[in-house]
Amino acid sequence: MRISIFHGVHDLSAALARDLVDRLHRTPALILGLPTGRTPLHFYRCLVTLSTEGHADFSRATTFNLDEFLGVAPEQAGSYQQYMERHFFRHINIDRRQIHFLNGAAPSADAECARYEADIAAAGGIDLQVLGIGANGHIGFNEPGEHLAARTHRVILRPETRRANAAPFGGDPNNVPTEALSMGMATILQARSIALMATGAEKAECVAEMTRGPLTTRLPASFLQLHPDVHVMLDEAAARRIR
C-alpha cells in the first residue's frame, strides 16, 4: 500500500481530484467506481471546480457507485443516487447513460446485484475505484463479521453504520434502512487501481489496522493489502496511529 499523509481534507481532496483528472486526460473513457459519505464531499467539489474551469472532461467517462440503501428508490431523498446528483453529476458533462447505480427499489435484490456485476464486466471493469472507510473498517457496505461476500450482494447494516448515515434520514438512525446493496470485496479488489480516503481521528484505529494488521473479515478494509495498486490518502488525524 502506498500511504500519503496530507495536512487536511482540502489538500487530500485536491490531490485525489488532480490524480483523477490526469487519468481522465490519459484515458477519456475512464471507468470510475465512486463512493458516497461525508469524506468525499470536498473531493467532488474539487472535481466540479476543475470541470467548470474547463480542466476536466467527463463526457466519455463511466461511473459505478459502490452501494445503495435497500428499499430506497433512486429519486427518493436519502438515496445515494440523490447524493451523487446533488454533489457531482448535475454539475459535470457526463453522459447520463454512463452513470450506473444499484437500484435499491428493484423488484429482486438478487437479480439487481447480478445485473450490476454484469454491467461492470461489460464495461470492461473499473479503472479507478475511489473508497472511503467506515470507522468499523467497512468499505462499500461490506460490514465486519464472520464472513464477507465476494460479489455484489444484499447486506444487513450494522447499528454504527446506520448511526453514521442518519443525517439524510432526518438525523434519526431508526429511519435509516436496515439493509443495502453493495459491491462485494472481489468486485472492489478487481478494480485496476484503488484510492482510499480517510479523515478524522475516529478513523485512525481502523486505518492503522487496515495497513499493518492481519487480513480479517472483522476489518474488511484489511483485504486491500492483497491489491497491488492501492493509494491510502489520509489527513493527519486519521494517520496518527500509523507508525
Give the end-to-end CA distance of the chain in Å, rounded to a whole number.
Answer: 14
Active site residue 65: no
Active site residue 67: yes
Catalytic residue selected from 143, 153, 231, 235: 143
Q: Which is nearer to ligand PGA, 104 or 132 (CB)?
A: 132
- In whole angstroms, what is the distance from residue 123 CA to residue 229 CA? 20
Active site residue 103: no
Catalytic residue selected from 42, 65, 67, 100: 67
Interface with ligand PGA: number of residues (CB under 6 A): 7
- In whole angstroms, what is the distance from residue 167 CA to residue 20 CA? 28
Asked if 33 interacts with ligand PGA (CB under 6 A), we say no
CB 16 within 8 A of CB 233: yes
From 22, 27, 28, 38, residue interacting with ligand PGA (rule: CB under 6 A)? 38
Tally Cβ neighbours within 10 Å of residue 37: 17
Site string for ligand PGA, 126-165 (x = CB under 6 A): ------xxx-----------------------------x-
**What is the side-by-side strand order in the sheet with 230-235?**
2-6, 230-235, 193-198, 128-131, 31-34, 62-65, 99-100
Stretch that binds ligand PGA, among 32-40, 110-118, 149-157, 219-227 (CB under 6 A): 32-40
Active site residue 93: no
Q: Tell the smallest beta-carbon distance from residue 219 to ligand PGA (Å).
A: 13
What does the block give as the cell for 95? 453522459
From 17, 20, 39, 103, residue interacting with ligand PGA (rule: CB under 6 A)? 39
Q: DSSP per residue over 106-165, as a string? A: -S-HHHHHHHHHHHHHHHT--SEEEE---TTS-BTTB-SSS---SSSEEEEPPHHHHHHT
Catalytic residue selected from 65, 103, 136, 142: 136
Tally Cβ neighbours within 10 Å of residue 27: 13
Q: Which is nearer to ligand PGA, 37 or 74 (CB)?
A: 37
Q: Tell the smallest beta-carbon distance from residue 141 to ligand PGA (Å).
A: 8
CB 215 within 8 A of CB 223: yes
DSSP 167: G
Q: Which is nearer to ligand PGA, 31 or 133 (CB)?
A: 133
Q: Tell the smallest beta-carbon distance from residue 166 to ligand PGA (Å).
A: 11
For residue 76, CA distances in Å to 34, 68, 79, 141 come to 19, 12, 6, 19
Q: Known catalytic residues?
A: 67, 136, 138, 143
Q: In the complex, which residues of this chain contact ligand PGA (CB under 6 A)? A: 37-39, 132-134, 164
